[in-house]
Every structure is written in structure tokens, then in C-alpha cells.
């Protein structure tokens, strides 16, 4: 149960602060390496698409960002459940530190999609199912951030946000399929078709590398945000004072 | 006191309070009518265009009117301390929440339903779609109140909760808007709208079973 023990210890803010400080350069370094590899593979090595030419290369940012936007929202809801059921403060910290990163990825997915849409579909924006549900996901993220900012008491704010994240995650699939049903123009999934992906392997590998790089960026950014959040929350406790060398 | 009696007592109390303050009941209704009548002024009065837009316009206006009235579900009870007493009672808070939301819907949602055909008529919605319009609102507006109650419960302790409330709640309203307006649009074109109505009723049942639990949890957080 080394693994369980690890998470148990992570729930303690001083221990989290110490360990995350050691993990930070590894996540940052691995992210930088994978990003360089993914960009080199995606922008230089991968062949141009036979229909879309070089424009397709934006998927190396667009698709991983879209994946991350959903992944982070689910991660937030999981943290919400953990913080409401077991009252683990670190889960609250992770939840609230994830929200701005998730919102940024959602915005990135929308912006890159829009840039790609101009040459491909001839318009910056269409009211297509996937675009619209991604836009609504952005609103859900902004709602979480706004609610957290509006409640002054940190404890109350964190628990309110946890409930909101759980309510949101129940609604995300409903919203997604409603909007999909309503209208769709976006191309279907090309990577996750299990039998035979309709994307060439030379194009696929950089995409997966970029996806991994984005995950590491999330871990890196999350740790940085969570560390400062922990310091702010525990600013009156002894270990933070010791850390800062204050009497 | 048994749970059923507590439920009915709470429902009766909320209805009595609402009838003593009738102006608050009329406000959402007026808003509904006003917003709907703004659309012809903005987009022009071509009957063809208006009747094409009618299902969406009526639904959006109903949704905004529902949003506007949401805050009254818990606000006054929060301010005078009644809400704390409700949380302290021996009965499950989620059931009491249903009583409050039901009262709120009877006061603000039901009138919208009754006025909607008149507004539909103003906009030239074909008369064959009136039944679907009322039925879709009958399924949709209670779901709007139930989902909105979660948002109100989360923001009731805030002084300026209004803008945040709409940011929290409007994204969650999207599926109901899509299927509600879709059903009316189908009916207006003479296409069968049964599929959408089934999905609307599924939304209603889902929100009736799940949202009171979330609302109760949110109330506990807001009053802690």
C-alpha cells in the first residue's frame, strides 16, 4: 500500500509543499522535452494532409487542448467528491487551482479551432455541436471561478465550488449530446476509433506526444498554483512561518 | 409532524406569502411579455420571419423570466432566518426543497405557461403548435426551477449573487432550451415532436430526483 500511503501523506499541506517542490522541475523539464519532440514531429516530420495541406497541423495544439479541457473538468469533479466526502483540504486546493488552467485549455481549443475553421470551413465560427458544447464548458469553468471569487470565506467557497463541479460534471454529457443532436458539422472522432484509426501513424505519434506534454503541463501548472494556494491558506500556521524565516 | 404534513404546510405557507405580495408574482410575467414584444421591434415585423422565430423567442423569454424570478425561492427565507429553521427540522431537507420549488413554480412558472399561447399568437406561431408549446413549457419550466434552485442555494449568502447566479445556471439550462424550442419548432412545421417531449420529461424526472439533493447540500454550505 505504498501508493495509498503516498496519497495519505499528500493530504497534509506541509508534506505536499515539500514533495511538490521536488517534483516541480521534473514535471517542467519533461513537459519541455515532450513539447519540443511533439512540435518537431508534428510541424516538421509529419506529412502534410492530402486534403487540408499544412493547415491540419493545428490539431497538435487543438486536439490535446480539447482533451485536457474535458479531463480537467472531470478531475475537478473527482476532487469535489473527495473534498465533500472525506474533507481533505488538499482536494479543495487542487480543485480550485485546476479551474483557471482548465478554462485556459478550453479557450485555447476554441481559439485554435476558430483559426482552423477560417481556411477550412470559410468562417471563424459556426454554431456546430462540438464548438457550442466546448463554449458552454468554458462558461461552466468561468462559473466555478466566479463563484469561488465571490465567496469570501475560503472553506465555504471551496465546498460550494465542489458542489458546483459535481453538478456540472453530471450535466456535461447531457449538454454535449443535446448540442450534438441539435446540430453538427464538426468531423467525427478520428483517433479513438478502436478498430482502425483514420489517422496515419506518422501523424498520430506527435499528437499523442503533445497530449502527454499537455498533461504534464497541467501537472506542472497545477503544482505551482496549488503551492501558492497552500501557502496563502496556511499563512498563519507554524510551518509556513518557519519556511519564511519569520518569528 | 409527518413528512407529508410538513411538505404540505411548507407549500401552503409559501403560497400564502406569495398571495399576500401579488406584485412579485406579476413581475416575471410582465418581464416575459415585455421581452417577447421586444423581438418584433428589433428584427422587424415581417410575419414570416416572426413565425419562424416564434418557438425560440417564446422559449428564451420564458427561460429568462424563470431566471429572473429564481432568487425569490430562498432569498427572503434566508434573510429572516426561516431557512436555518428548515435545515434544523427533523425532515430531510431535500424533500422540503421540493416543496419550496413546487410553490415557486406554481407562482412563477404556471402563469408563464398560461400566457405563452397568447404570445405565440402575437408572433404568428401556427395554432397547431400551441398544444406542444404549453406541454413543453409544462415539462420544461419545473425543470428550470429545480436546476435553478441549486444555483440559488449556492449564491444565497452573497450580497451580489445575481450576475453569478445567471453565469452558474444558464449553461445548465441549455439542454432544456434545445429540446423545448425544438419540440415547438417541429410542431410548428407539422412534424411529430414526441421524441423531444419524451426527452423533456426525462429531464424533468432527472432534475426532480437529483437536484433537490444538490440543493440541500448547497444550502448547508451556504448557511454553515
pLDDT tens digits for range B75-100: 888 989 899 998 998 899 999 999 99
Helix pair angle (B130-155, B194-222), 10° resolution: 20
Q: Is the pLDDT of residue A242 over 70?
A: yes
Q: Which of B221, B222, B223, B224 to mutate to test the interface with A (most CBs of A within 10 A)?
A: B221
pLDDT in tens, A36-63: 998 888 788 777 776 677 777 888 889 8
Chain B, 201 to 220: residues with Cβ < 8 Å from chain A are 203, 210-211, 214, 217-218
Check residue A145 and give its pLDDT.
94
At A170, give phi and psi (nearest 5°): -70, -35
Distance in Å, alpha carbon of A52 to nearest chain B alpha carbon? 33
**What residues of chain B lie within 8 A of the CB of A181, using their CB?**
178
How many angstroms separate the CA atoms of A132 and A110, rounded? Answer: 9
Confidence of residue A232 (pLDDT cuts 50, 70, 90): confident
Residue A4's pLDDT is what? 63
Angle, helices A154-182 vs A89-121, to 10°: value is 30
Predicted model pTM: 0.88
Higher pLDDT, A124 or A217: A217
Given a cut of 50, is residue A245 above it in pLDDT?
yes
Give me the pLDDT at residue B172, please: 93
Q: What does each C-alpha distance from B101 to B8, B14, B141, B216 come to in angstroms?
A: 12, 10, 11, 12
Q: Is A170 close to B150, i.e. CB distance below 8 A?
A: no
Number of Cβ within a 10 Å radius of residue A41: 19
Burial A164-173 (b: 16+ CB within 10 A, else e): bbbbbbebbe
- Nearest Cβ partner of A178 from B160, B170, B178? B178
Which residues does chain A have within 8 Å of residue B170's beta carbon, measured at their own beta carbons? 139
- All residues of chain B having their beta carbon less than 8 Å from the beta carbon of residue A178 are 174-175, 178-179
Domain limits for position B24: 3-222
| CB-based contact B143:B65 (threshold 8 Å) | no
The pLDDT score that the predictor gives to residue A192 is: 54
Kindly determine whether residue A143 and residue B175, on different chains, have CB atoms separated by under 8 Å: no
- B residues 174-193 closer than 8 Å to A (CB): 174-175, 178-179, 182
Residue ranges of alpha helices (H) inside A122-185 are 129-150, 154-182
The tens digit of pLDDT for each residue in B22-71 reads 887 888 899 999 999 998 899 888 888 888 889 999 999 999 999 988 98
Give chain B's domain count. 1
DSSP alpha helix (H) spans, chain B: 3-20, 22-43, 47-70, 75-80, 82-88, 93-104, 110-122, 130-155, 162-188, 194-222
pLDDT of residue A2: 57
Question: Confidence band (pLDDT; 50, 70, 90) for B16?
Answer: very high
Q: How confident is the model at residue A233 (pLDDT cuts 50, 70, 90)?
A: confident
pLDDT in tens, B149-188: 999 999 998 877 778 999 999 999 999 999 999 899 889 8
pLDDT at A194: 47
Which B residues 88-127 touch A at CB under 8 Å? none
* pLDDT higher at A122 or B27: B27
State the Cα–Cα distance between residues B132 and B188, nearest whole angstrom: 9
Chain A residues inside the 8 Å CB shell of B154: 147, 160, 163-164
Q: What is the pLDDT of residue A187?
A: 57
Using a CB–CB cut-off of 8 Å, the residues of A that contact B are 84, 136, 139-140, 142-143, 146-147, 150-151, 155-156, 159-160, 163-164, 166-168, 170-171, 174-175, 178-179, 181-182
State residue B33's pLDDT score: 93
Give pLDDT, residue A186: 54
Q: For residue B182, list chain A residues with Cβ-Cβ distance below 8 A.
A: 182
Q: Do A150 and B164 touch (CB under 8 A)?
A: yes
Please state, in angstroms and rounded to a whole number, the distance separating the CA atoms of residues A99 and B19.
43
pLDDT band per the 50, 70, 90 thresholds, residue A11:
confident
Percent of all residues in chain B with a pLDDT value above 90, rounded to a whole number: 58
pLDDT band for position A20 (cuts 50, 70, 90): confident
- Please say whether the beta carbons of A14 and A239 come within 8 A: yes
Amino acid at each position: 500500500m505504498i501508493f495509498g500511503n503516498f496519497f495519505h501523506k499528500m493530504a497534509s499541506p506541509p508534506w505536499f509543499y515539500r514533495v511538490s517542490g521536488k517534483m516541480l522541475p521534473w514535471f517542467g523539464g519533461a513537459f519541455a522535452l515532450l513539447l519540443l519532440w511533439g512540435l518537431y514531429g508534428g510541424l516538421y516530420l509529419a506529412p502534410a494532409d492530402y486534403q487540408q495541406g499544412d493547415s491540419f497541423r493545428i490539431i497538435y495544439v487543438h486536439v490535446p487542448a480539447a482533451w485536457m479541457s474535458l479531463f480537467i473538468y472531470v478531475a475537478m469533479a473527482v476532487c469535489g467528491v473527495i473534498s465533500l466526502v472525506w474533507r481533505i483540504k488538499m482536494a479543495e486546493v487542487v480543485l480550485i487551482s485546476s479551474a483557471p488552467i482548465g478554462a485556459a485549455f478550453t479557450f485555447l481549443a476554441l481559439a485554435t479551432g476558430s483559426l482552423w475553421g477560417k481556411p477550412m470551413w470559410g468562417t471563424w465560427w459556426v454554431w456546430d455541436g462540438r464548438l457550442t458544447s466546448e463554449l458552454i464548458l468554458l462558461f461552466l469553468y468561468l462559473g466555478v471561478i466566479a463563484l469561488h471569487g465571490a465567496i469570501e470565506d475560503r472553506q465555504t467557497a471551496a465546498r460550494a465550488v465542489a458542489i458546483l463541479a459535481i453538478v456540472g460534471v453530471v450535466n456535461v454529457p447531457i449538454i454535449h449530446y443535446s448540442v450534438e443532436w441539435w446540430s453538427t458539422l464538426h468531423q467525427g472522432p478520428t483517433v479513438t476509433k478502436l478498430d482502425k484509426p483514420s489517422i496515419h501513424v506518422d501523424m498520430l505519434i506527435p499528437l499523442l506526444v503533445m497530449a502527454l506534454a499537455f498533461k504534464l503541463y497541467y501537472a506542472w501548472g497545477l503544482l505551482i498554483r496549488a503551492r501558492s494556494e497552500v501557502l496563502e491558506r496556511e499563512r498563519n500556521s507554524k510551518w509556513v512561518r518557519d519556511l519564511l524565516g519569520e518569528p | 409532524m409527518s413528512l407529508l404534513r410538513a411538505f404540505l404546510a411548507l407549500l401552503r405557507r409559501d403560497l400564502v406569502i406569495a398571495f399576500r405580495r401579488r406584485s412579485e408574482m406579476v413581475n416575471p410575467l410582465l418581464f416575459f411579455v415585455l421581452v417577447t414584444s421586444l423581438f418584433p421591434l428589433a428584427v422587424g415585423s415581417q410575419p414570416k420571419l416572426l413565425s419562424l422565430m416564434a418557438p425560440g423567442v417564446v422559449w428564451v423569454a420564458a427561460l429568462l423570466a424563470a431566471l429572473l424570478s429564481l432568487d425569490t425561492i430562498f432569498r427572503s427565507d434566508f434573510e429572516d432566518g426561516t431557512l436555518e429553521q428548515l435545515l434544523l427540522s427533523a425532515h430531510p431537507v431535500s424533500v422540503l426543497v421540493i416543496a419550496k420549488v413546487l410553490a415557486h413554480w406554481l407562482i412563477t412558472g404556471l402563469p408563464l405557461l398560461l400566457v405563452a399561447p397568447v404570445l405565440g399568437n402575437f408572433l404568428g406561431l401556427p395554432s397547431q403548435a400551441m398544444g406542444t408549446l404549453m406541454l413543453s413549457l409544462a415539462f420544461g419550466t419545473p425543470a428550470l426551477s429545480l436546476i435553478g434552485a441549486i444555483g440559488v442555494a449556492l449564491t444565497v449568502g452573497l450580497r451580489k449573487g445575481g450576475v453569478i447566479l445567471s453565469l452558474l445556471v444558464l449553461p445548465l439550462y441549455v439542454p432544456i432550451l434545445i429540446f423545448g424550442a425544438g419540440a415547438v419548432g417541429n410542431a410548428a412545421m407539422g412534424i411529430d415532436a414526441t421524441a423531444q417531449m419524451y426527452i423533456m420529461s426525462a429531464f424533468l424526472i432527472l432534475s426532480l430526483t437529483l437536484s433537490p439533493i444538490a440543493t440541500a447540500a448547497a444550502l448547508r454550505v451556504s448557511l454553515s
